[in-house]
Chain A
Amino acid sequence: AQSVSQHNHHVILSEAASLELGCNYSYGGTVNLFWYVQYPGQHLQLLLKYFSGDPLVKGIKGFEAEFIKSKFSFNLRKPSVQWSDTAEYFCAVNAGDYKLSFGAGTTVTVRA
């Protein structure tokens, strides 16, 4: 069964700092990859997705992610965070079956 690992449970940083969240998955075949964000009390929003093509994907709100197939990784980055980026971030993988598998999530707290 496929699994998704997010390395950091809770990340705390100051405004303007750079952010990188790790995501690794276990499936060996072709995958679709997603990052979702959930602001406090709100629903899941898609930040970005990778299906094929350029492994560097740009999403909304200044986020980007890089797919490295050899490392089974899809790390999320943002060069300069804002207080409003405080949220829960979920990596998710679809390996071709019905199931979108989520990582455990990373709580990001940005201090003003």
Chain B
Amino acid sequence: DTEVTQTPKHLVMGMTNKKSLKCEQHMGHRAMYWYKQKAKKPPELMFVYSYEKLSINESVPSRFSPECPNSSLLNLHLHALQPEDSALYLCASSQGQGRGYGYTFGSGTRLTVV
């Protein structure tokens, strides 16, 4: 299995809703990432997990809450989002954190906040 699987593929949520994005990989990768991508823009790093521990938070608002239940799963919990949070949310994984590793990206969750 050489894929990163993200669910759901599309999500529409209201500003008072609570929802979660899920990411799963079975490649034995020990680093996992959340990126946010707006239309026609490059992905922006949000969070990095290394060996199931949060290693980097790129000053992301607390309405985004990541969780890594085990080495194969990564969640992003969403609460009280704003319309400007609408974007494509990408999960990625790599064998380790740092240089020398390739990254595998999932197909993303397209989030619309109404």
Contacts and interface: CB of A to CB of B under 8 A. Distances in A.
Given A30-B99, A51-B100, A105-B40, A100 B108 contact: no
Interface stretch (B41-49, B61-69, B77-85): B41-49
A43 B42 contact: no
Interface in B46-73: 48, 50, 55-56
B90 interface: yes
Contacts of A94: 98-99, 101
Interface in A42-60: 42-46, 49, 51
A30 B42 CA distance: 23
B107 A96 contact: no
Contacts of B56: 98-99
B102 A102 contact: no
Interface in B83-114: 90, 92, 97-108
A34 B42 contact: no
B102 A46 contact: yes
Nearest to A41: B110
B45 A99 contact: yes
A104 interface: yes
Interface of B: 31, 33, 40-43, 45, 48, 50, 55-56, 90, 92, 97-108
30 contacts: A30-B99, A34-B102, A36-B105, A43-B90, A43-B107, A44-B90, A44-B105, A46-B104, A46-B105, A49-B102, A51-B100, A88-B40, A90-B42, A94-B98, A94-B99, A94-B101, A96-B98, A96-B99, A97-B98, A98-B48, A98-B50, A98-B55, A98-B56, A98-B97, A98-B98, A99-B45, A99-B48, A99-B56, A103-B42, A105-B42
